[in-house]
Chain A
Amino acid sequence: MRILDLLKPKDLARVSKLQVLARQVVEGFCSGRHRSPHKGFSVEFKEHRTYVRGDELRNIDWKAFGKSDRLYIREYEEETNLRCTLIVDRSGSMQYSGSRSGELSKYQYAQQLAASLSYLMLGQQDGVGLVTFDDQPRQWLPSRSRPSHLLAVLQALAEDGSRKETDLGGVFQKIAPKLSRRGLLVILSDAMGDLDSLARSLALLRSARHEILFFQILDPDEIDFPFSGRIQFRDLENAVNEQTIDSKSLRTAYLERFAEHTEKLREICRRHRVDLVQMPTDRPFADALHEYLSMRRRGR
């Protein structure tokens, strides 16, 4: 997949106008709103210090040297940015694409959404990291705020999905220790897995004071189960698992089960103060993102 496939100019233009607002105090979550307590090299001057060996010559304040005949180094205040980690599900269940989503699979939808968020955040000089996973973490990119980091993120995203099962809980437990600094975790998954395990993992992540935003990517077919007639359902995560049924006769039961599953996920997110956004793939993801961010701006 090429990078240009992931980021369409129109989407990038729309997404770049948005600002991500953090609900809680997260270090550097909003660029320009908070001054970082960390020092660094930036445009804002902080103080002079005496030159020591090893300092870069370009940082010497030659004007001060001309006045005082001493070597001083200019120190600037560093604008530390939001450290966001995008956690993208690339398991088999994410490979489903229904007719109403324009042949766009849930994984492809997640790729585009993650790319948009990356571009948005890096444009704001926030740090963006990436984790892709199925039953194991597969890609790991630490959070960086350099614009050049976008390419790395997009390259990692551009890899094809797998046909393996999802293990949300297991994966999150594995990546939790590696997320040493608190930040924003954006999970893009269909949450088709063990929710109890997920709940435990979310609790772990929240205990590390991470802000978590959960985009539940769903295909419209999974929401309303529009099928009729006899269909052989073949599991995308396990090819040998097939079920031939009269789809119409099971529709009601499926919808009840789906509603139950969704409600349970919603309850878990509410309990752990995780923002859950259900994203059907037939809606332009940028619209959905805009709607969510607007809501956050209004409410929080």
Chain B
Amino acid sequence: MTLLNGLLAFGALAFTVPLTIHLLYRNRFRTLDWGAMHLLENVIRINRRRMQLMHLLLLLLRCLLPVLLAFCLARPVLTGFRVLPGDAPRSVVVALDDSQSMAAREESGQTRIELAKGAVTSLLKSLSRRDEVILVRASHLGTPVAASGAQEAIESLKGVRASSGPVNLADLLRAAINASGEAAYPQRQIIAVSDFASNTLDDATLGSLSNLAESLSEKSLPPTISFLNLGQNSDELQNLSVDTVESKSPAVVAGRGGGFTATVRNASDSPIRDVRLAWMLDGAEISRSTLTIAARSTTVARLTHRIDDVGVHALAVVVEHADAVLEDNRRSLAIDVIDEIDVLLVDGAPSQEPLEGETDYLAIALSPFAFGGDDQPDAVRTQVCMPRQLQKQMELVNPDLVVLANVAELSKEEKSVLTQFVLRGGTMLVFDGDLVASETYNTPWECAEGSWLLPARLGETIGEITGEDRLPQPSGMNHAIYSPWDMLSGGNDRPFAEIDVYAYRKLLTPAAVEAEGLETIQTDSPETERIDEDANTMTLWSLGNGDPVAVLARRGRGKVVQFAIPCDTAWSTLPLRLIFLPMIQQLVLDLAGNQNRVNVAVGDGIVVPAKRLEPDGEDAAEIDTKRAAEYRLETPDRVEVVIKPTEEIFPRLLVASAVERGLYRFRCETPMLEGLATQTETLRLAEMPAQESILRDADLARIESAAESVDATIYNDITELQQDDSQRRFGREIWRWLLGALLLVLVAELFLQQHAVGSSQRPREKAGAL
């Protein structure tokens, strides 16, 4: 045992004071001539031993009082409990979960992040000057960490907000352990502060923690890990949240109405009536409605709205309701409103007769309003050409999408143009037909920037191409994985069943090629880079026998879709069916209109092609190419920084991690001729995943399992953590026990004085008169 304030222990010598008083008191008395000795003698004889005992006990208690007080002030510590060297400086790594669920407001009125900051601040204040602190935030796991003093860390904490996306406890701990590896002192302590919501501890995380435990065990000086759990009553919190805001159209075309939905969830046990919901476009309210949501349920709000301006717009849904997490009462969706999509239809079998050309049905399906003489603008503008006009039309039209319909052969130059077009982000649709020479398509598509293969190799033709009594192939199914075609089903599980496919090209996907043991196709020019390594072929529609009818694959920054049938009525009844128009519309809008990923989750990276910010049209000719454009980024917290584009053929603006939720505005100031400059802007939206609005605590067993795997201790209160920490470092302080004993002794002394030894009250009536 040691004493923290050893000098104060000498105060125990004050026990001599009551002892001296007692001894002096024994020798000091007054004499009284007493008449009723008859009674007194009897009392003395009976009580003498008890009195002596009581006086001795009273003396003992009075001597004990200063002794206990002195030891209490001296703060004795039982060093038998110590497991760490107490005085050595240490490195404390605070792994702070600053996800949005930490913004939940507790019954006390404080948010969890405020409680966490308060607890951590309290802990940091107890550190010595020599200790170092490393703050690891869930929202900044990728960024390098720096050690600082406790006071600096406290200052850093003040700016922390609960704005991060979902946190994986294993990732957070791994980052903290890595940070502790860079700590200056061998004595390291990691404190993970979180609400331990259910999404932080899924099965994968537990597995990850086990791996982490293995790596920890290999360390010669593993850090001490503690969990500070601040979320223990999430089920009692009432929350209303906007979980999703979605566009029902794959692409939103300027001037055309688009459908939007918002899902609002009531996670409370009581229904919420007449809650106001507002739709806001670029900050201006465009629609308002009221909702009533039953307890523990969701409801969907719908909006149809036309946006006239091309560009990225922010559509926000706001519900006005006071609940546990105010942040999730608003959710936004960035909408990339595009101009008309230019589609170049390359007709391999043109005809002067109506609907006899290879692309006639397709052109109608893509521009139905123009075909019907309607005033409404079509989303797609089509241009038909013959194969020999391909190169010229590519230059003239600058299409977003190229359709090869029953095109027999393509020259090397034509293929090179199309290859480059796809690599740079264009989309190519390939429809089969009786003229198609499979060798042309199966050989690598090459250009100076790289090469690729079609998503599927063209095989033999199956079925009867002509004949009155030909039979259709068994109908198949569409694949739910391709969401733009979800609307085709309309409650029908087999929307393609009505299409009769009499003949089709056997499409051999890479998996089928490998399965059948066919020889892989090598590129002719080995110096070109093959750009299809990581792109999986996705089957969009297959027949009943499993043979694909439509497949899709990403190639470079573009996409290629292959159909095993032509787009006319030669091999199938597809163009004759009602499903044809929406199917083609959805496909084209998805392929051509959604190339730019304008919505990202908080924590994900943002990529913006620099070209997108360059002036186009007439302004493009006025650009001063001698001077470089300047790019700026404005983050959601209104901080504008200069950003440099990557040095690539297609320069991009990169944000490694969208830490903050909200709009990221990319601006470009392009120098123009005559010394002028023009400014363009585009938006990207980082939104919080809806799971952060689900306030549900992880099972206690799960938390214990996680703690056990990394040998951590769970605390619900920072005071307990500090006490345990103090005990580990210095031993167990027992001044509280001594204080308790002191109080007990005080009470005992008073009791003995008042009741056992004698009372100063005068019960006259007890001995009173007759």
Contact (A250, B767) CB under 8 Å given A190-B35, A224-B762, A236-B37: no
Residue B39 CB within 8 A of the other chain: yes
Q: How far is the CA of A227 from the CA of B29 in the complex (A)?
A: 12
Task: Identify which of A192, A237, A244 contacts B39 (C-beta below 8 A).
Answer: A192
Contact (A250, B770) CB under 8 Å given A232-B30, A232-B31, A235-B34: no
Binds B, one of A19-27, A36-44, A80-88, A256-264: A256-264
Please state if A250 and B44 are interface contacts (CB–CB under 8 Å). Answer: yes
Q: How far is the CA of A261 from the CA of B764 in the complex (A)?
A: 15
Residue A103 CB within 8 A of the other chain: no
Residue B675 CB within 8 A of the other chain: no
Residue A280 CB within 8 A of the other chain: yes
Nearest-CB distance from B129 to chain A (Å)? 56
- Contact residues of B between 34 and 93, Cβ < 8 Å to A: 34-44, 46-47, 51, 54-55
Query: With a CB–CB cut-off of 8 A, which chain B residues contact A250?
Result: 40, 43-44, 47, 51, 758
Nearest-CB distance from A198 to chain B (Å)? 12
Please state if B766 and A95 are interface contacts (CB–CB under 8 Å). Answer: no
Q: Mark A224-263, 1 if CB is under 8 A from B, else 0.
A: 1011111111111110010111111111111101110110
- Contact size range, B: 35 or more
Please state if B37 and A251 are interface contacts (CB–CB under 8 Å). Answer: no
Residue B769 CB within 8 A of the other chain: yes
Q: How far is the CA of A238 from the CA of B770 in the complex (A)?
A: 29
Please state if A277 and B758 are interface contacts (CB–CB under 8 Å). Answer: no
Q: How far is the CA of A246 from the CA of B41 in the complex (A)?
A: 13
Please state if A257 and B44 are interface contacts (CB–CB under 8 Å). Answer: no
Query: With a CB–CB cut-off of 8 A, which chain B residues contact A233?
Result: 32, 34, 37, 40
Please state if A229 and B35 are interface contacts (CB–CB under 8 Å). Answer: no
Q: How far is the CA of A106 from the CA of B34 in the complex (A)?
A: 12
Q: How far is the CA of A243 from the CA of B767 in the complex (A)?
A: 23
Please state if A259 and B767 are interface contacts (CB–CB under 8 Å). Answer: yes
Q: Name B757's closest neighbour in chain A (CB-CB).
A: A249
Contact (A92, B35) CB under 8 Å given A245-B51, A250-B47, A257-B43: yes
Residue A266 CB within 8 A of the other chain: yes
Please state if B770 and A245 are interface contacts (CB–CB under 8 Å). Answer: no
Query: With a CB–CB cut-off of 8 A, which chain A residues contact B29?
Result: 229-232, 244
Residue A278 CB within 8 A of the other chain: yes
Q: How far is the CA of A280 from the CA of B582 in the complex (A)?
A: 120
Residue A96 CB within 8 A of the other chain: yes
Residue A151 CB within 8 A of the other chain: no
Q: How far is the CA of A251 from the CA of B38 in the complex (A)?
A: 15
Q: Name B54's closest neighbour in chain A (CB-CB).
A: A249
Query: With a CB–CB cut-off of 8 A, which chain B residues contact A255?
Result: 763, 766-767
Residue B466 CB within 8 A of the other chain: no
Residue B545 CB within 8 A of the other chain: no
Query: With a CB–CB cut-off of 8 A, which chain A residues contact B411?
Result: none
Residue B760 CB within 8 A of the other chain: yes
Query: With a CB–CB cut-off of 8 A, which chain A residues contact B760?
Result: 228, 248
Please state if B39 and A261 are interface contacts (CB–CB under 8 Å). Answer: yes
Residue A276 CB within 8 A of the other chain: yes
Query: With a CB–CB cut-off of 8 A, which chain B residues contact A226?
Result: 762
Residue A223 CB within 8 A of the other chain: yes
Query: With a CB–CB cut-off of 8 A, which chain A residues contact B37?
Result: 93, 192, 233, 235-238, 241, 243
Q: Mark A29-56, 1 if CB is under 8 A from B, else 0.
A: 0000000000000000000000000000
Residue B768 CB within 8 A of the other chain: yes
Please state if A254 and B43 are interface contacts (CB–CB under 8 Å). Answer: yes
Max chain B C-beta neighbours (<10 A), residue from A96, A193, A250, A259: A250
Query: With a CB–CB cut-off of 8 A, which chain B residues contact A231?
Result: 29-32
Q: Mind listing 5 A-B residue pairs with CB under 8 Å?
A: A192-B39, A223-B768, A229-B30, A246-B757, A249-B54
Given contacts A246-B55, A250-B40, 14 further A-B contacts (CB under 8 A): A96-B33, A228-B760, A229-B30, A230-B30, A232-B29, A232-B31, A232-B32, A234-B32, A236-B35, A246-B758, A249-B51, A252-B759, A253-B46, A254-B39
Q: Which 9 A-B pairs have the closest CB atoms?
A: A96-B35, A93-B35, A248-B758, A230-B29, A235-B37, A233-B34, A249-B758, A249-B757, A232-B31
Using a CB–CB cutoff of 8 Å, the interface residues on chain A facing chain B are 92-96, 106, 190, 192-193, 219, 222-224, 226-238, 241, 243-255, 257-259, 261-262, 266, 276-278, 280
